[in-house]
Amino acid sequence: MKMKKKYMKEPEPKEKLIMFKGEEEFFPGADLLLRLKSSLALIESPNVIGYGLQGNEKQYLFILANPIRLIDGNSNLKYIKCDTGNYFELGKQYNTSIHSLREELNNELKDINLDAFDYAKFVDNPNYKPQSIIHNGF
Amino acid sequence: MFGLKSILFAFLLLMTSPSSYPKPDHINPNIVLITIDGVRTQEVFYGTDSSLSSDDYISETKLFPNIYNYGAENGIMIGRDSPMYATGPVFISLPGYLEIMRGAQVKDCFVNTCKPKYKSTILDDLYYKNYSNIAVFSSWKPIRNIFDKDEKRFHFNNGRTNNLPIIFPEDISYRADEDTIYEAFSYIESNSPQFIWISLGDADGWAHRNNYEKYIDSLQRSDQFIGQIIERYKNTDYGKNMTIIVTTDHGRSKIWTNHFKDKESSKVWMMMYGYNISKLGFMNINHKLYLSDIRQTILHIINN
């Protein structure tokens, strides 16, 4: 029997939500990398290891380790939601299965500032003109 | 003053000059591009990594018998004697695939969730060279974001559909390589595409999950698929004019489960075999090669 739609939908908290986008592929060693779409919330953790900015949209990158503590940075904000579907209540401490972080990851993130991104500075051969690998005569 | 006859003569001369029409024997080769996500040069050129596995060492030629038979013995291998790189500055999937498709450095996408503005790709080149059937199959759904969402000229088959099993529960839109291979093979059988890009991704998925055994298993299955494609079509009209190109979008960091900004993960490789590919084995070129060279290489293959 077909279920009524309202019973299939997961109930959502009524408070204002902010969507966080996971970037697991970047740092698979950590279970949770949150990308804040704005600076509405702060995330407090001894294991926050870096942040970055991209384009005109202010985005902070954090990697969190166990345990994490989320602090309200805006009085209207009570929950955050990850793209994994989990809700986190601000101000509450969570025990997660997040792996310990590595020093290498810390080093990788600390110098990112994509807002003032100078492409040529970050690649070895910025003026490279692509060409065929094989040529006539081979 | 030129007379009418002189003008007509000049026009006819122009029309019949050798450069004004295709060579009579020119054919458009069938291009099969296979990408295997996140496969580092370590395994391709040196075999299994004993620091990550307690199993017996598997040499590179036993790990990739088809890539070595067709690439190193009867075609071209790049990445060992002539290093090849993803340009970066971040060595992750979508920028890597964009670099391959666009044949240019990627300055507008530094995350896998980016929605880049559409720019011309190798698919456009082929379309304007009258390639009649152009297809893109991938295990990883975001591959579709490389192309315009309203694109109708090409056939797309990307990511998992609901009837298929889930291999990585964190990403239910991801389709197992086994299913992508089945779909792609079926499409080749029934449509004989003149260009098909088949993008496999299990290897990277298992590497991120620190599962070396399954990473190696994925590599072996990918190599097996390459052999199957070549063997299946080698005695057919389709296969006689077929060029197969195999590469990866990025390598892996020193910590093998990762890839991001570490230059180690910029190292890539490439294999070519078939129509218009000479038996050169491991190529040694005196300058750095990049993923962005692949578009020009394909154009060279189809123009000669």
Q: Check: CB of residue B173 under 8 Å from CB of residue B158.
A: no
Contacts of B257 in chain A (CB under 8 A): 28-29
At B23, the pLDDT band (50, 70, 90 cuts) reads low
Residue A48 lies in a domain: yes
Residue A58 pLDDT > 50, yes or no?
Answer: no
- What are the residue ranges spanned by the domains of chain B? 29-303
| B19 residue type, one letter | S
Cα nearest neighbour of A114 on chain B? B110
Cα nearest neighbour of A128 on chain B? B105
CB pair distance less than 8 Å for A21 and B103: no
Residue A54 lies in a domain: yes
| B64 residue type, one letter | F
Residue B142 pLDDT > 70, yes or no?
Answer: yes
Q: In degrees to the nearest 10, what's the CA dihedral of A97, A60, A118, B296?
A: 50
Contacts of B270 in chain A (CB under 8 A): 133
Residue B281: closest CA among B82, B75, B81 = B75
Extract the tokens encoding B208. Answer: 């991120």
Rounded distance, CA B132 to CA B166, Å? 33
pLDDT tens-place string over residues A100-135? 322 333 343 344 343 334 566 667 888 899 999 998
What average pLDDT does the structure give for chain A? Answer: 45
Residue A32 lies in a domain: yes
CB pair distance less than 8 Å for A102 and B255: yes
**B126 backbone dihedrals φ, ψ, rounded to 5°:** -65, -40
* Residue A82 in contact with partner chain B when CB distance is under 8 A: no
Look-up: residue for tokens 């240019």?
B104
- CA distance, residue B109 to nearest chain A CA (Å): 10
Q: What is the pLDDT of residue B276?
A: 93
Extract the tokens encoding B202. Answer: 């299990």
CB pair distance less than 8 Å for B209 and A84: no
pLDDT tens-place string over residues B163-202? 999 998 878 899 999 999 999 999 999 999 999 999 999 9
Q: Check: CB of residue B77 under 8 Å from CB of residue B277.
A: no
- Domain with A44 in it: 12-115
DSSP assignments along A59-127, one per residue: -EEEE--SSEEEE-SSTTEEEEEETTS-EEETT-EE---PPPP-HHHHHHHHT--GGG--HHHHSS-TT
CB atoms near residue B117 (< 10 Å): 8
Q: What is the pLDDT of residue A83?
A: 37
Rounded distance, CA A82 to CA A88, Å? 8
CB pair distance less than 8 Å for B89 and A27: no
Q: Check: CB of residue B239 under 8 Å from CB of residue B232.
A: yes
Residue A123 lies in a domain: no
**CATH class belonging to B29-303:** alpha beta
Q: Assign B12 to helix, strand or coil.
A: helix
Residue A131 lies in a domain: no
Rounded distance, CA B124 to CA B295, Å? 11
Residue A104 lies in a domain: yes
Rounded distance, CA B63 to CA B81, Å? 19
Most confident of A43-47, A75-79, A82-86, B265-269: B265-269
Residue B85: closest CA among B197, B259, B248, B216 = B248
Residue A69 forms beta bridges with which residues? Answer: A44, A93
How many domains does chain A fold into? 1
- CA distance, residue A117 to nearest chain B CA (Å): 10
3-state DSSP percent of chain B in helix, strand and coil, to 5:
40, 15, 45
pLDDT tens-place string over residues B96-115? 999 999 999 998 777 777 77
CB pair distance less than 8 Å for A28 and B280: no
